Structure 1
């Protein structure tokens, strides 16, 4: 495209389809993953695999991250084999880091300050839209960072995003993602309650999306999660432990800002109960397994 080489760390459920979109858009992409097989699976699509983040950083102008949490981001960037491992400022090729991970805003600001010492701009760019959005190239991205940095990477993100919204300085994208997750987790929990009520009342819960279509309760989440809560054998789109991480971060941000969030607090306790029940690895739809114990005669 413009001669820039991209690095991408974290080709998982979300990252792999995002990388494929970048390759289809004719970007040169170097990939790294802690599990090498996940990176090697992209060779057939045109990606080149780096042995370590530091090796990737020697070839990439812009590095995109999509990893599990703040500890993983810090390790990838500043760890023993991280992007800046053993590097002097004048030897660093990476000019911008784009973090698609969902991590606390304050952690983002600290990491950005450290990256600035190497001359690299930081854009926190968490995504919404799930695996389907990544596969379809229709993700919504909430970006935080300097205007020049956000403007520079927006054409790159356009390969897999339908929308990139600049929310403010570093950390603002992560705050917007917390707002997103507060709405998503509360809504999925409410859908699970509705499915459980329908079943206990003897009606076919699977018909709820059809019955509610066009009404105020209709939503992408309703149409996505009722089938996942009423059918078996569907491929996982994410684990409840990810929701728990996000809701714990929401609770911390609420405490820091003095924001009352009673609904998010209830969802947090529901997710802790799910973990205690051994459901941390269950699909996002696993709320239903916490709330609904089938009774004799239930639909």
Structure 2
């Protein structure tokens, strides 16, 4: 697409956008952007995942720089900090394309975000918005994600209409890195709650009770939550679709621990949850669905309990 065609698309309410990362979260986000009428250039480390979106109207490209070239903004939804750095600053990275906006939906450390934002601004004049999300794969598919954003207010205002294709709530929480800090606050609650649910399921099973009824028995009480309703069934019965890996949550919890140390915040509950996730990883459960955390307190769970 030529620059003139891109300008006409924007004037018509559509935009040419780049998107790097077509994983569990990125794929439904890309599909929502396409359904909203935007033209999306997709790069993924595994090219087959990008090419699979061609049926939805996406254009698969060979490099991150190609995804960014001529795009009104380029979005990232990547596995970890190393992947973000390589995608942005690698030999075929986004940093090669001058100007524009970058929206990072990945979960990385606030300190790394501030460093990357300064490097990108200095090297190519591109503005970085850290915009991690909450709501899971189902929220991405339904367009109901919550986005917590850090960075310049005017830049966020510019990209927010595009983010709204897959997010119901977009909140600017501060300057560069603040979005990642808010995500770590979110993950403090989520990771600790999933660990508590795993322990409650194990306690019920070890006490001779059917643990699969816990979500029904506790519904409407103080212990009830979306996480309780999602994870008790996933920890006690076969699952159809993964929600995310133990290793991904462990990465976030490790980042929380670092931030707690840097800020002098005593997080005793977080330390206990971190021990559970580390134990799961040592047991070889890192690639497994996060519901497999239940195998830490309930190692003898019957194999038939899972698909």
String of CA shifts for 1:52-80, please: whole Å, max 9, x gaps: 11122223120000001111111111101
Report whether the alignment pairs 1:111 with 2:133: no
TM value normalised by structure 1 = 0.94
- Match in the other structure for 1:51: 62
- Once the 2 structures are TM-superposed, how far is the Cα of residue 233 of structure 1 from its aligned partner? 4.2
Report whether the alignment pairs 1:20 with 2:31: yes
- Match in the other structure for 1:130: 136
Report whether the alignment pairs 1:140 with 2:151: no
Matching residue within 78, 99, 102 for 2:89 = 78
Report whether the alignment pairs 1:246 with 2:257: no
Matching residue within 182, 200, 223 for 2:229 = 223
- Match in the other structure for 1:292: 298
- Match in the other structure for 2:41: 30
Report whether the alignment pairs 1:160 with 2:166: yes
Moved more, 219-228 or 52-61: 52-61
Matching of residues 190-229 of structure 1 within 5 Å: 190-229=196-235
Q: 5+ residue gaps in structure 1?
A: none
**Whole-Å Cα distance in 2 between the matches of residues 97 and 145 of structure 1?**
11
- Once the 2 structures are TM-superposed, how far is the Cα of residue 281 of structure 1 from its aligned partner? 0.9
- Once the 2 structures are TM-superposed, how far is the Cα of residue 295 of structure 1 from its aligned partner? 8.1
String of CA shifts for 1:103-137, please: whole Å, max 9, x gaps: 00010001101111212111100000111111111
Report whether the alignment pairs 1:60 with 2:65: no
**Whole-Å Cα distance in 1 between the matches of residues 167 and 69 of structure 2?**
27
String of CA shifts for 1:29-63, please: whole Å, max 9, x gaps: 11000100000011010111111111222231200
- Match in the other structure for 1:260: 266
- Once the 2 structures are TM-superposed, how far is the Cα of residue 269 of structure 1 from its aligned partner? 1.2
- Once the 2 structures are TM-superposed, how far is the Cα of residue 3 of structure 1 from its aligned partner? 4.9
**Whole-Å Cα distance in 2 between the matches of residues 263 and 138 of structure 1?**
29
- Please tell me whether the aligned partners of residues 200 and 295 of structure 1 are also in contact (alpha carbons under 8 angstroms): no
- Please tell me whether the aligned partners of residues 57 and 84 of structure 1 are also in contact (alpha carbons under 8 angstroms): no
**Whole-Å Cα distance in 1 between the matches of residues 153 and 100 of structure 2?**
15
Distance 1:206 1:51, change over 3 A: same
**Whole-Å Cα distance in 2 between the matches of residues 186 and 81 of structure 1?**
38
- Please tell me whether the aligned partners of residues 209 and 218 of structure 1 are also in contact (alpha carbons under 8 angstroms): yes
Residue-pair matches, total: 291
**Whole-Å Cα distance in 2 between the matches of residues 255 and 108 of structure 1?**
18
Report whether the alignment pairs 1:149 with 2:155: yes
**Whole-Å Cα distance in 2 between the matches of residues 79 and 295 of structure 1?**
44
Matching residue within 97, 106, 114 for 1:101 = 106
Moved more, 111-120 or 222-231: 111-120
**Whole-Å Cα distance in 1 between the matches of residues 241 and 56 of structure 2?**
23
TM value normalised by structure 2 = 0.92
**Whole-Å Cα distance in 1 between the matches of residues 259 and 286 of structure 2?**
22
**Whole-Å Cα distance in 2 between the matches of residues 79 and 152 of structure 1?**
27
**Whole-Å Cα distance in 2 between the matches of residues 3 and 288 of structure 1?**
45
- Once the 2 structures are TM-superposed, how far is the Cα of residue 220 of structure 1 from its aligned partner? 0.5
